[in-house]
Amino acid sequence: MNILFYCPWHDQDRWLIELRKKFKDINIVTLNDKPDFLKIKYAIIWELPDKIYKKLKNIKLLFSMGAGVDHITNLPSYNRIPIIRLKDPLMAERMSNHVVSQVLQYQLNLKIYMESQKKNQWLDFIEPVPNSNLLIGILGVGYLGTNVGNTLLNLGYKIHGYKFNKPVKKYNFKIFYQKNDLKKFVKNLDILVSILPATLKTNNMINKDILQMMKKKALLINVGRGLSINEKDLIDHLIKNKFFYVSLDVFNKEPLSKNHPFWHLSNVTITPHVASITAINSAVNHIYKKYKNLKKNKILKSDVDLNKGY
């Protein structure tokens, strides 16, 4: 049996080596092998071109190489084939570490001190707000969002979460879920962390209406998907509110163009989509474990709700 592997990442050769080590008795093929697409039932992919997907007439299961699945569900030819997305503990740890770093940069006024360093300027100290006095909201409490929320909670921050649907499990922090609760969730936050997936419902969800609900002095962190933010509305808000800060790891279009206004706004921190870099060994182990369980149980069930898109 053949499993198709496709991704455009610079470390794709390392992925292929680790996959072939793990899947010892299975033939992992790439497009370079000129495979018979009709014999492929499984694929491990990221941003597979639609023209290739259309050739996979007998595909039964797709493994996403990241937490997001919109690169699959947005394919014009996608036909609701079951998807297994990456729920890797090391990815969750990296996401939590990144969010904590941005919270601390804001809380400890580190960006202000870094700017003063460029001017050879010694500032009088600015007293930081205690952890217990900061209310942090997690917008999107799926696998990654729950891990981020619990990490921050363990550090003594006050945490609230927001979901689109009524929770079916117990969380360690308060959850808002009704549409009418969104304003109540947002308005008292000191920091909003968006870990939203890319769906029709989340597209431009963080717009001028949401931004105006927030405190004038607050921090917005986006480590979910870039399309969840209306960038024009955010730029206008940042220009009008000098003490409103954002930390952006994802954008509408990537890489971020050199002439984008975000580069020139002092209240913006930019990172190049690195908040939760996939760890190859850990990810391959996760994919292999899922594959073995599926083969053992002989049930090809998606762990993505295809109606919701995540």
For 84-121, write each residue's pLDDT tens digit. Answer: 999 999 999 999 999 999 999 999 999 999 999 999 99
- Please state whether beta strands 245-248 and 219-222 pair in parallel, antiparallel, or not at all (unpaired): parallel
Q: What is the mean pLDDT of residues 118-146?
A: 96
What CA–CA distances, in Å, run from 123 to 198, 217, 219? 41, 20, 22
Assign 132 a pLDDT band (cuts: 50, 70, 90).
Answer: very high
Domain-by-domain residue ranges, the chain? 2-88+278-297, 89-270
Assign 307 a pLDDT band (cuts: 50, 70, 90).
Answer: confident
CA 4 to chain centroid, in Å, comes to 25
Q: What was the pLDDT predicted at 236?
A: 98
Task: For residue 26, count other CB atoms closer than 10 A to its CB.
Answer: 15
- Please state whether beta strands 2-6 and 40-45 pair in parallel, antiparallel, or not at all (unpaired): parallel
Q: What is the mean pLDDT of residues 275-302?
A: 90
Q: Would the pLDDT of 300 be above 80?
A: no
What CA–CA distances, in Å, run from 230 to 124, 214, 234, 251? 36, 15, 6, 10
Query: CA angle 255-18-254, nearest 5°?
Result: 5
Q: Are 157 and 134 in contact (CB under 8 A)?
A: yes
Q: What was the pLDDT predicted at 120?
A: 97
Task: For residue 261, count other CB atoms closer than 10 A to its CB.
Answer: 15
Q: Could you tell me which of 275, 240, 277, 238 has the C-alpha nearest to residue 260?
A: 238
Instruction: Compute the half-sphere exposure of residue 50: CA atoms within 13 Å on the CB side of its CA.
Output: 9
Percent of the chain with pLDDT over 70: 100
- Please state whether beta strands 158-162 and 135-139 pair in parallel, antiparallel, or not at all (unpaired): parallel
Q: What was the pLDDT predicted at 179?
A: 84
Q: Would the pLDDT of 310 be above 90?
A: no
Q: Going by C-beta distance under 8 Å and a sequence separation of 6 or more, which residues neighbour residue 118?
A: none
Q: What was the pLDDT predicted at 122?
A: 96
Mean pLDDT of the chain: 95
Backbone angles phi, psi at 176, to 5 degrees: -100, 145
pLDDT digits (tens, 9 = 90+) for 9-53: 999 999 999 999 999 989 999 999 999 999 999 999 999 999 999
Both tokens of 55, joined, read 């050739």
Q: What was the pLDDT predicted at 308?
A: 86
Angle between helices 89-107 and 110-118 (to 10 degrees): 60
Domain 2-88+278-297 identical in fold to domain 89-270: yes
Is 2.40.128.130 the CATH classification of the domain at 89-270?
A: no
Q: Using CA atoms, how far apart are residues 138 and 149, in angstroms rounded to an integer?
A: 7
pLDDT digits (tens, 9 = 90+) for 238-267: 999 999 999 999 999 999 999 999 999 999
Q: Using CA atoms, how far apart are residues 70 and 225, in angstroms rounded to an integer?
A: 10
CA 124 to chain centroid, in Å, comes to 37
Q: Would the pLDDT of 231 be above 80?
A: yes
Right CATH for 2-88+278-297 from 3.10.580.10, 3.90.550.10, 3.30.1490.190, 3.40.50.720: 3.40.50.720
